[in-house]
Amino acid sequence: TKNILNQFISNRANGIKSFAVLIDPDKTDTSTCLQLIRNCVENKVDFFFVGGSLITGNTMGQVIKLIKTHTSIPVVLFPGSNLHIDMSADAILFLSLISGRNPDFLIGQHVISAPILKKSSLEILPTGYILIDSGKQTTVSYMSNTTPIPYDKPEIAACTAMAGEMLGLKLMYLDAGSGAQRAISSKMILNVRKSVDVPLIVGGGIRSANEAHEAIVAGADTIVIGNGIEINPGLLAEVSEKIDDFNKAKI
């Protein structure tokens, strides 16, 4: 059933915040991955994002299989290229890198993958992918050969999101990049939030529950964390609790 986009949209409409955990298939062996999955189940994570801008191993399929055998939490592909498609996932972030000016990541990769995705049962999530500078060059900015939006230029991020929404993109993903030195500022999140109605995914460099909370208060609908959990597995429970508290206070 294709309902992940609707889940994002109805959560947004109801002011319900959600939590996505990014699994980089390169970074986990089976037992660490299994531990992480159990941790996610215990803490009621809403989505798994699986992927990354560069994948060197051949384990993405195994990671998805592992998730699928242990939970029913939806698996959303977070591809770095048209090579990162796996039919056993539930959905794919069909990312157009709208902060960049590299046509390959704006539309080229999409043309190559469209006929394959069309025949698949993957739910397509048309997403404006907006990279924000985080203090040091990230893998994604290098690999995509694009310049991220400067950290302190919220108006550029806002106009980029507006244009993406006008082009019909259904989700916006503000990303400082995995392993970012600093998370995206509240000011920028707020600016983007005020400029578009679509659900707003925010990630990159979030290392504490407080940072996650700030992003949510500023208007993020979905928080993505990868590295922070690898460094501190307890972060998962802390962030999940913050989100829960926020959602309960809302109801």
148 binds ligand 1GP (CB under 6 A): no
- Using CB under 6 A as the binding rule, whether residue 39 contacts ligand 1GP is answered as no
Residue nearest to ligand 1GP (CB): 203
* The one segment of 10-18, 151-159, 212-220, 221-229 that binds ligand 1GP by CB under 6 A: 221-229
Binding region for ligand 1GP (CB under 6 A) out of 58-66, 102-110, 146-154, 222-230: 222-230
Nearer to ligand 1GP (CB atom), residue 14 or residue 232:
232
| Least distance (Å) between residue 229 CB and ligand 1GP | 8
Q: Could you say whether residue 80 binds ligand 1GP (CB under 6 A)?
A: no
Residues within window 5-34 making contact with ligand 1GP, judged by CB under 6 A: 22
Least distance to ligand 1GP from the beta carbon of 175, Å?
A: 5
Among 227, 235, 239, 240, binds ligand 1GP (CB under 6 A): 227
**According to CB under 6 A, which residues from 157 to 216 bind ligand 1GP?**
175, 177-180, 203-206
Total residues contacting ligand 1GP (rule CB under 6 A)?
Answer: 15
User: How many angstroms from the chain centroid is the CA of residue 26?
Assistant: 17
Check residue 228 for interaction with ligand 1GP (CB under 6 A). yes
For residue 178, the minimal CB distance to ligand 1GP (Å) is: 4
Tokens 């994948």 appear where?
A: 55
Given a contact cutoff of 8 angstroms between Cβ atoms, the answer to whether 69 and 42 are in contact is no
Residues that bind ligand 1GP (CB under 6 A): 22, 175, 177-180, 203-206, 224-228
